[in-house]
A and B are shown apart, each in its own frame.
Chain A
């Protein structure tokens, strides 16, 4: 197999890895905020349920969670899922898992904002939602950006776990090519791919941090 064909095959996988990556972020970043609200809710039942959810998501392997999401509907509920479900299962699994981690990061960030900020906004007559969106959240984002960057970097590498349910992202293909052609080349290419991907993520996030560091 020529390097060109190999690269072309892996290239398709890379696009799928990138797709998983962005779909997960788009789903998990907002969902994480909702989960954080649930976790901080005064309603004991709600916060209890959310606590259990976070505990399970963080306490079991993501690979196992992907399998449960993919095979669960059939084995547990006897629902036959269509062919498109494989990708959906990957994204659902990743979003549910990452939302739990993001939620805890949000929670830490929200708790770190001095109560005086909320009080000042309240006395000035801001509504609760406006207080959160314009006063609290911007400060939270700044606080938590380094922790979020960590998760975003881990996620790049975690996309390879989609091989557990045979979704043809890049790493799944690399393994296939490597074993059928007895070559290390696909692994080298995938190593470079993950590194460059993460380099870009780190670069962009650093820019974001700089942009938000105009105040203390």
Chain B
């Protein structure tokens, strides 16, 4: 079953065309990694999928429910009330965590399930504590984000997204703001989610990680999908542009 289906997505900022006819669909249980140079449009694609950005054209469908579609060459969105419901289908983990600094760790995780989903506090709290345990953050319930390392903050952010019980979790370069020694702990958590068959779309620069965890790798450049396939395309890219990008990355890390 398709959790997300995006067809023919177009998006420009003024004169600059950032997404040129991009299609992406994600099956339940699938882990998709999106790689590509900066400015290739991968973050914009994620922001369009998570409704932080509106598309100029194309269609977005979550679980067979139309979120956006095209009418007379322009994108039309579902009414705001429906959109708010659709947002419950997915979660997003940001590059900069974006935790709420004035809420404790526990409140960061519990606030939306209680206030938005109106679930009972006791149930939410139990789930939140379990999530924290899973993230290796037991005992940090009452800490404030500033008291945590970047890696810990990002794991809280993952727990916050998971507490909404999304069908699909997006990650926007989840380790790019972290020191190298902290990326490991975040990647470990994501890997574990992959093992549990969580449906995920991950924009990342960590090639080794993408190779390990992804069922499908998508290489984007200049607003188009240049190449996609199994994780083996990282080692055996077909397209020259993919090759050039991967070579450059390798040159930088060795």
Contact = CB atoms under 8 A, between A and B. Distances in A.
24 contacts: A114-B96, A116-B98, A117-B100, A119-B94, A120-B92, A120-B94, A120-B100, A123-B50, A123-B51, A123-B52, A123-B90, A124-B116, A125-B116, A125-B164, A126-B112, A127-B84, A134-B111, A135-B100, A139-B102, A142-B102, A215-B101, A216-B101, A216-B144, A216-B146
A215 B145 contact: yes
Nearest to B164: A124
Interface string A191-216: 00000000000000000000000111
A108 interface: no
A215 B94 contact: no
Contacts of A55: none
A116 B144 contact: no
Given A122-B51, A216-B146, 13 more contacts: A119-B94, A120-B99, A120-B100, A121-B100, A124-B164, A130-B115, A134-B115, A138-B102, A139-B102, A215-B102, A215-B144, A215-B145, A215-B146
Interface residues of A, number: 21
B41 interface: no
Contact of B87 (A114, A125, A135, A215): A125
Contact of A122 (B52, B90, B111): B52
Interface of A: 114, 116-117, 119-127, 130, 134-135, 138-139, 142, 214-216
Contacts of B116: 124-126
Interface in B91-117: 91-92, 94, 96, 98-102, 111-112, 115-117
Interface string B190-219: 000000000000000000000000000000
Contact of B91 (A122, A123, A215): A123
A138 B144 CA distance: 15
Contacts of A138: 102
A124 B112 contact: yes
B250 to A, nearest CB: 31
Contacts of B88: 125
Given A125-B87, A125-B112, A125-B116, A120 B146 contact: no
Q: Range of interface residues on chain B? A: 20 to 34
Q: Which are the 3 A-B pairs with shortest beta-carbon distances?
A: A120-B98, A116-B98, A124-B112
B42 interface: no
Given A123-B87, A125-B116, A214-B144, A117 B98 contact: yes
A123 B112 CA distance: 10
A125 B113 CA distance: 9
B243 to A, nearest CB: 34
B10 interface: no
Given A215-B144, A215-B146, A123 B92 contact: yes
B84 A125 contact: yes
Given A125-B88, A125-B164, A119 B98 contact: yes
B11 interface: no
B90 to A, nearest CB: 8
B160 interface: yes
Contacts of A117: 98, 100
